[in-house]
Structure 1
Amino acid sequence: MTALAPHPDRLLPADPATRDVARRLYAEVADAPIYSPHGHVPADMLLDDEPFGDPAQLLITPDHYVTRLLHAVGVPLGRLGVVRRDGDGAGGTAAASGSGSAEPAVSGREIWRTLCENWDVFLGTPVRYWFESEFSEVFGLTDAPSPQTADALYDQLTDALARPEFRPRALFERFRIAVLATTDDPADDLAAHLELRDDPSFDGRVLPTFRADRYMHPLEPTWRGKLDELSAAANIDCGTYAGLLDALRSRRAYFKAAGGTATDTGVIDAGSEPLHTADAERIHREALVGTISQADADAYRRNMLYRLAEMSADDGLVMQLHAGVIRNHHRPTFDAFGPDTGHDLPAVGGYTVPLTPILRDFGVDPTFRIVLFTVDETLFSREIAPLAGFYPSVFAGAPWWFLDSPAGIARYRSAVTDSAGFVKTSGFIDDTRAFCSIPARHDMSRRLDAGHLASLVATHQLSEDDALGVARRLVADVPIGTFRL
């Protein structure tokens, strides 16, 4: 039976002298509060503060970092508890994975056993690192997952989750989370955020983030329905392009009043050429009657990206931009299970040319701020860092998704620092629905930054005092300042 005992020096440099410096730097920030300005944990989880139920539904099923790798080795998503939305059986991925028939619903214990049977699939991945830290440090497990330990570990987790100290608010406090941002549709009433804000028994800050992607794509079958929802929420008719813009402005003000400091936008490319109002109105009308072309839909989306930047220059909400992702790459899986099921994939990206209209008009505006994220890491040194190294408004977003691994974070620091330094970065972004993994993800970043700074001290590029100052700023001043927290 293998013990679960994460090494105290994990991710720190191998060279003894450099490692000693890294240990001192890490010790300064290891217990610092967590600022999480971009994530997907639902606010009502903290409002309701109900005990977590089944361990698999907490740790496995909602985390597409986990489910995608298991799916990659042949485990149907239905066997991991992912619920079908097409009505084809209670679970399983028959249509999506070619298994021939729908899988029956599975228990949490069975899902957990599947993870334990495939534990080695995660060797060398950040998921394995997060899980080992989480299991050991949050839940106190001492045996590594395996087919032999699966049932005993499941029982230990079930027992732990039934205790008061493992309820959401207790963990929020234990994790030292100072700020947790969520991701929210503009039509959301933000009721949970408002109740949490006004709850005297809750000391944390849970901030909404305005995400308007679904209103940018008039060819999507859900677009007209989303306009209706937004019209109702804003009490503004979105049957015209001008009405849509007015409704978005109104909801942004609502989000800001509820504590929001940022928006988030995910697009296939960062094109941002504005349209004349008459052209945008024409495309909007054609979209409503179903006669819009692909070219006009692309022009509309790029215009909307510009208009969202224009709104940020007006109201000061920090604009986060995630470009270059092909969403829902495997259509059968999307049809069966919906979005966020592990098959959003990287595309070759670019920012310098596509963002020219936005940066031309708002790049030096003191109110405007944009944080650029990528899953094409060639952009870090080629485009994002040089842009952040000139434009006051541009910040280099942390490695995200496929890149938020130890190696990816190390490459990011080397690629960005030469052009943009440390202060024009975003701070670590955990980007997660997996609440219990938040401290493990931030700890990983803190260890890697300590190692990077220690290497600069060892090569006499920084004094240790300067490195200590940077380490502290990266976990507090940088995210606080970048996201106007």
Structure 2
Amino acid sequence: MLSMTSLHPDRLLPADPGTRDIARRLYAATASLPIISPHGHVPPEWLAEDVPFADPTALLLSPDHYIFRLLHAQGVPLADLGVAGTALDEQGSRRAWRLFCENWTAFRGTASRYWMENVLGDVFGLTDTPSATTADTLYDSIAAALTTPEFRPRALAKRFGISVLATTDDPVDSLEHHRALRADTRFKTRVAPTFRPDRYLESSRPDFAELTKALGHAADIDTSTYGGYIAALEDRRRHFKDHGGVSTDHSHTDVVTLTLEPGEAARIYAAALSGEASEAEATAFRRHMLVEMARMATEDGLVMTLHPGSLRNHHAPTFDRFGPDTGHDIPIGVEFTRGLQHLLGRFGTVEGFQLILFTLDETVFSREIAPLAGFYPSVYAGAPWWFLDAPEAVRRYRGAVTETAGFHRTSGFIDDTRAFLSIPARHDMSRRLDAAYLAQLVAEHRLGEDEAHETAIDLVTTIPTRAFKL
């Protein structure tokens, strides 16, 4: 039987022995610190209801687009992996797990393999390498563990040391699960909702009129007029803040911003409700609404995060069958400097306003995001996200951003995941990479080790706490 290589204690640390010794000391200072996860996609009901996880496939494969998209690239049908709620019985779940194990070699060199090895080794204590031979043994071991109290969601959150966990939520959500979690004094993890209004700002959507009605119903405000629509968004933001929310999340194709005259905004809104707004008008309205979101942030204090640059649903047949968020969103280039000039001209120096810029286009880290964060007191350089939250990309980000913006104008690491059991592996990866970067600065006599030690701790404590107003 194949044996999975044990997790090396020096993984991701520098190869040079002297620098590695420094990195070991720096990593040791952060390894056991609590996890702050200010942007992610774990369903709050998992923690509120504390229901046991169903099976290895439903927990580790079906929700993880990093895993299933690469399996799809190997020719594995998404339906065979339980993607997008595709029902799998026990036999189907076991078959999906076998397909994953049989294709384990496809993950060599990927961040997904690094995280999964951590999950299998650290969380479940398994040593067998995934393969056609070991698939059933691994499945049975994981399935057995999931029936025990130690592997219930709340027990895992405590074991992982998660102090803050942000979810991503629809503006009309009642937030009942967050309310229940806040009321339960026995559960110590702070679970914060995140206001995600994207589809309510995209007036070109065929269901825009229905969405605004739902928004109005949730806020108990008539949204048949532009003024009512704005008031309803403001009301729902307050609802999120009242339930512990600290930020809003916006993920559109671009971050171009502009302000429409009130009458023009009202005219386009009315046209959109009747399905008569042109594509150009809808785009202008969405860009106007980003500025309105910033204006609201200056009033209610919620941190504004931008996650642009993904061409959603690239493969129409997959979208038609499985819907959105099924592995075929593809990064595109994004421009920040000119696009955000209007928004930052109005609010970039307003006290209390905070804007975190994320990107899938790493060419803009040093050219645009770091210089913006290095001037505007409101702007923070968001950590590498999605396709970039992997070791080599994280290294490139740290080198590209730090020399211009420093450490304290960054967001701290975000795991951006629904793969709950991979959260500690992702944060541990970031801590190791930061220790390695700081150790290099010490070895080159650019930073004292005492300063590096302090910075390593700041990167997982005070820096994300400040950036997200925690």
TM-score range, shorter chain: over 0.9
2:2 maps to a residue whose letter is: T
Q: Deviation of residue 105 (structure 1)?
A: 9.9
Pair 1:257 & 2:242 matched:
yes
AA matched with 1:77: L
CA distance in structure 1 between the aligned counterparts of 2:245 and 2:84, rounded to whole angstroms:
31
In structure 1, the partner of 2:326 is: 341
Instruction: Determine the C-alpha separation between the residues in 2 that align with 1:106 and 1:155.
Output: 12
| Corresponding position: 1:375 with 2:376 | no
**Corresponding residue number in structure 2 for 1:267:** 252
| Corresponding position: 1:36 with 2:37 | yes
Pairing 1:67–2:68 present: yes
State the partner residue of 2:3. Answer: 3
Q: 1:391 aligns with which of 351, 361, 376?
A: 376
Q: Does residue 183 in structure 1 map to residue 184 in structure 2?
A: no
Task: Say if 1:51 and 1:166, in contact at 8 Å, map to a contact too.
Answer: yes
Gap change, CA 1:313 and 1:83, over 3 Å in 2: closer
Q: Secondary structure at the match of 1:267?
A: coil
CA distance in structure 1 between the partners assigned to 2:135 and 2:40 by the alignment: 30
Which of residues 211, 221, 233 is equivalent to 1:236?
Answer: 221
Provide the C-alpha distance between the structure 2 equivalents of 1:454 and 1:134, rounded to a whole number of angstroms: 27
Query: What is the identity, as a one-letter code, of the residue corresponding to 2:276?
Result: T
**Partner residue, 1:46:** 47
Q: Write the mapping of 1:260-339 to structure 2, written as runs, cut at 5 A.
A: 260-339=245-324
- Residue of structure 1 in register with 2:401 after alignment: 416
Instruction: Give me the whole-angstrom Cα distance separating, in 2, the residues matched to 1:366 and 1:343.
Output: 39
State the alpha-carbon separation in 2 of the partners of residues 48 and 222 from structure 1: 31
Return the offset for 1:200: 2.0
Q: How far apart are residue 335 of structure 1 and its match?
A: 1.1
Flag structure 1 segments of 5+ consecutive residues without an equivalent.
Answer: 92-103
Question: In the alignment, residue 358 of structure 1 is paired with which amino acid?
Answer: L
State yes or no: 1:81 paired with 2:82. Answer: yes
Q: Work out the CA distance in 1 between the residues paired with 2:252 and 2:365.
A: 18
Which of 179, 200, 213 is 1:194 aligned to? Answer: 179
| 2:209–2:274 CA contact under 8 A, matched in 1 | no
Give the letter aligned to residue 61 of structure 1.
Answer: S
Q: Is 2:28 the partner of 1:23? A: no
Match of 2:103 among 109, 118, 122: 118
How far did residue 222 of structure 1 move? 2.4
Post-superposition offset of 1:106: 6.1
- 1:366 and 1:138 mapped to 2: Cα distance? 43
SS at match of 2:163: strand
- The Cα shift of 1:290 comes to 1.4
For 1:310 and 1:335, locate their aligned partners in 2 and report how far apart those are by CA, in whole Å. Answer: 36
Cα deviation digits, residues 406-454 of structure 1 (max 9, x gap): 0000000000001100000000010000000000000000000000000
- TM-score, normalization: structure 2? 0.98
Q: Which amino acid aligns with 2:410?
A: T
Paired with 2:338 and 2:255, the residues of 1 have a C-alpha distance of 9
- Write the letter of the residue equivalent to 1:78: A
CA distance in 1, matches of 2:408, 2:223: 40
Percent identity over the alignment? 57
**TM-score when normalising by structure 1:** 0.95
Q: Does residue 78 of structure 2 align to residue 129 of structure 1?
A: no
Confirm or deny that 1:463 pairs with 2:448. Answer: yes
Corresponding letter in the other structure for 2:221? I
How many angstroms does 1:179 deviate by?
0.3
Spell out structure 1 runs of 4+ moving beyond 6 A: none
Counterpart of 1:34, as a letter, is I
Which ranges of structure 2 fall in alignment gaps of 5 or more residues? none
Does 1:366 pair with 2:351? yes
Contact 1:22 1:454 in 2 (8 A): yes
Match of 1:203 in 2: 188
Displacement of 1:164 in angstroms is 0.4
Of 197-206 and 440-449, more deviation after overlay is shown by 197-206
CA contact (8 A) 1:131 1:437 kept: yes
RMSD: 1.2
Alignment match, 1:99: none
1:315–1:367 CA contact under 8 A, matched in 2 = no
Match of 1:94 in 2: none
Amino acid in structure 2 at the alignment position of 1:152: T
Q: CA deviation at 1:218?
A: 1.2
Q: CA deviation at 1:323?
A: 1.2
Counterpart of 1:155 in structure 2 is: 140
Letter in 1 for 2:154: R
| CA contact 2:442–2:449 (8 Å) conserved in 1 | yes
Q: CA deviation at 1:84?
A: 7.0
The equivalent residue for 2:461 is 476
What does the per-residue CA deviation read over 1:62-97, in whole Å, with 9 as the maximum and x for residues that have no partner? 111111111111111001112478xxxx78xxxxxx
Q: Is the 8 A contact 1:186 1:212 kept in 2?
A: yes
Find the residue that maps to 1:323 and give its secondary structure: coil
Q: Secondary structure at the match of 1:275?
A: coil
In structure 1, what is the Cα distance between the partners aligned to 2:433 and 2:396? 11
Asked whether the 8 Å contact 1:81–1:106 carries over to 2, the reply is no
Would the aligned equivalents of 1:116 and 1:146 in 2 still touch at CA under 8 Å?
yes
Alignment check: 8 A CA contact 1:81 1:105 kept: no
CA contact (8 A) 1:324 1:376 kept: yes
